[in-house]
Amino acid sequence: MWRLWRCSPTNMTGKMKKTLLNQIPNELPQEILHFVSGSKIYDSSCSPEARVYFIDRGNGYYLKRSAKGTLDREAKMTEYFYFKGIGAEVLKYISGDSDWLLTAAVVGEDCMNKEYLMNPERLCDTMAYQLRKLHETDYSDCPIMDRTAEYLALAVRNCHTGNFDKSQFPDSFGYRSAKEAYDVLKNGKDALKSKVLLHGDYCLPNIILNNWKLSGFIDVGSGGVGDRHIDIFWGVWTLWFNLKTNKYRERFLDVYGRDKVDEEILKIVAAAEVFG
């Protein structure tokens, strides 16, 4: 199945919905239960892979629950982005029967907010500028130093297990068959390098702005040191998907900087992504 955990259409249809719960979920660990007691709790889940709760206390907190061991990477990368001044503060990570990750809410609104969507040119430029800035961040102390190798290994593994879905990609990135995509991936994968700090899931809901200024990035579990074209691919994709047009593709690449963009590598990334 295509990677719904990352930037799926299920969590990109608009501002994150919050459903008020009548009671605190029974399964909350004791270490977290005392923290949320007395606060209103909302279910803001948007992916079948995880349950997400919004805790209405102070400036707000998010609590994510997923299968055991699945949030370890996200906890590490969220802490790292926070250390760099561009992420959410991790308050608690617990791995027991399930994984639990508690973070402080990042001040501002994600880029699916109406204020930003109503000015697509400025939104496109802001996204491109912030991505280039992220990619120029020192990554020498990053806890995940070769995200590219993991990324390619997953694509190859998913290919061999029959995953192939090009339906969520614009025609300029599409492939007519799994074989066509795999041939491009197999022949070109060595061109991908690990040379920048990646977000890993660079989509509109994962970029938090406060009056057009970057507050931070969220959902960085696919991040690490990797090839810039992975983020560039998703930046182009999210503008196409959410703005319902591919007209901002060239503008995004221009603002990011054509000196760092290789169209052939973007095609290789696209080939990897159709396998999840």
Q: Cα 12 to chain center, whole Å?
A: 11
> Could you give the CA distance from residue 259 to residue 230 in angstroms, rounded to a whole number?
16
> Could you give the CA distance from residue 185 to residue 271 in angstroms, rounded to a whole number?
6
What is the mean pLDDT of the segment spanning 219-235? 97
34 vs 199, residue with greater confidence: 199
Q: Who contacts 177 (Cβ-Cβ below 8 Å, separation ≥6)?
A: none
pTM: 0.91
165 is catalytic: no
pLDDT of residue 171: 58
- The whole-chain average pLDDT of the chain stands at 90
pLDDT tens figures, 123-161: 999 999 999 999 999 999 999 999 999 999 999 999 988
pLDDT of residue 11: 41
What is the crossing angle of helices 263-273 and 178-188, to 10°?
A: 130
Report CA Rg, the chain: 18
Q: Which of 99, 201, 219, 227 is catalytic?
A: 201
Q: What is the DSSP letter of 105?
A: P
| Angle CA 14–19–22, to nearest 5 | 175
| Angle CA 235–140–157, to nearest 5 | 55
